[in-house]
Chain A
Amino acid sequence: MESLGGEVLGFDDAEVTSAKKGETLWDTAKMVEKYCDIIVIRHPVEGSARLTAEVSSKPVINAGDGANQHPTQTLLDLYTIQKVKGKLDNLHIGLLGDLKYGRTVHSLTTALSHFNPTFYFIAPPALQMPQTYLDELEEKGIKVVIEKDLTKVSKKLDVLYVTRIQKERFPDPVEYEKYKGFYKIDKKILPHIKKGLKIMHPLPRVDEIDRSLDETEHAIYFEQAANGVPVRKALLALCLGLEKH
């Protein structure tokens, strides 16, 4: 926003806001819209961005609502795939890690379903893609492979999208301890993948991608993160009607 010439008013910790006093999101949105031209909201509760958009007369961008969606991450992910693969159609996409609580993979799955992919959902059964998404993919006739062992499908993949097992998403810390570190990829995976496979990650990573992969031609997660800047600038410009400038 600042590189577009604007200013950012906001907070990244609810502790410093009236939310700590019990103010509802509804009231916060009604207040905040008076002070700005556009609202970008990242909130731990699902549906929060939609409610904000209903309450506010200003444009609202969802920067992540609980375990539901993360659409701006998906825009930059699509842009990244298009850049490195030259297309979005007919790709074999592996999604690895926490698919149940991962909002990035939910949004990415929804978006990529328009491009006739084959999806490989690689996760332990307790962290698999929610049935809501599986049902929608089935209705669209999209091919889905459910797997928990990456090596069984790795050779087929064009893109491997790795996600962190997210501690903050687990209501039960004991369950998190069971699954953290479940998937870690390192150079041992290299003989089992296509030459042109691209490895993506929405970051931050913990230990699910070993640093030894960073310098390989497969690792594009830092380029992916960098793509977030132009994509989000374009989105802000579009929402503010600045696209002609």
Chain B
Amino acid sequence: MDFLFPENLNDFQGCQKSRGFLNMKTEKISSIRDGTAIDHIPADVTFKVIEILNLEGIKSAISAATNLKSKKMGKKGIIKIGGKYLTSEEVNKIAIIAPDASVNIIEDYKVKKKQQVSLPDELNKIIKCSNPNCITNVEKVPGKFRVKNKDPVKVKCLYCERDMKKEEIVLL
């Protein structure tokens, strides 16, 4: 996995070496032929998205950058994953921590489909209840959660009926 320094330096526009450092006028990361590009990730959760998608096990090319300038967000992260298309569960996990991210399906270097992540009305099997005395934790049964609010994120466990804010949510 490369961070900011892809194999082909020609992918950087306006790059020049200066005193041994790369002086990037325009920040851009490698294109991928087929796969998924996730854009508009809040800069502070870029690595969290990499973690929840379990990208360490992927053999194909992955590029990621964070703290990129963004007119919309101030700073953002981008992740490009070659040869992989996200499942709906993975998209839902991203939506919890990066509700404004966009997921682009790439085919033959072109954006085939663009979609905004969006939290569904129910989250099942991707998060766990924060209440240790909830039956889902005592008996290890899959949890069910209703999304009460999408921004800021608030979910309710349908078993113990406790609410969880974004910072209390534990991803499975």
Contact = CB atoms under 8 A, between A and B. Distances in A.
A241 B157 CA distance: 30
B159 A25 contact: no
Interface stretch (B29-37, B104-112, B130-138): B130-138
Contacts of A24: 139
Contacts of B162: 46, 130, 132
Given A45-B133, A46-B134, A26 B161 contact: no
Interface in A63-83: 65-69
Contacts of A202: none
Contacts of A65: 160
Nearest to A106: B161
Identify the interface centre among A45, A51, A131, A135: most chain B CB within 10 Å of its CB: A45
A65 B157 CA distance: 14
A241 B158 CA distance: 27
Interface in A32-67: 44-48, 50-51, 65-67
A45 B138 contact: yes
B135 A25 contact: yes
Residue among A45, A46, A65 having the largest count of chain B Cβ atoms under 10 Å: A46
Q: Interface residue tally of chain A, by bracket? A: 10 to 19
Nearest to A46: B160
B163 interface: yes
B123 to A, nearest CB: 16
Contacts, number: 47
A5 B141 CA distance: 37
Given A25-B139, A26-B139, A69 B161 contact: yes
Contact of A50 (B131, B138, B159): B159
A47 B163 contact: no
Nearest to A55: B141
Nearest to B143: A47
A37 to B, nearest CB: 24
A46 B161 contact: yes
A46 B163 contact: no
Interface string B97-131: 00000000000000000000000000000000001
Contacts of A47: 134-136, 157, 159-161
A26 B103 CA distance: 39
B159 A46 contact: yes
A69 B138 CA distance: 18
Given A45-B134, A47-B159, A66-B160, 16 more contacts: A26-B139, A26-B141, A46-B134, A47-B134, A47-B136, A47-B157, A47-B161, A50-B159, A51-B135, A51-B139, A51-B141, A51-B159, A65-B160, A66-B133, A68-B160, A68-B161
7 nearest interchain CB pairs?
A47-B159, A46-B160, A47-B135, A47-B160, A132-B163, A51-B135, A48-B135
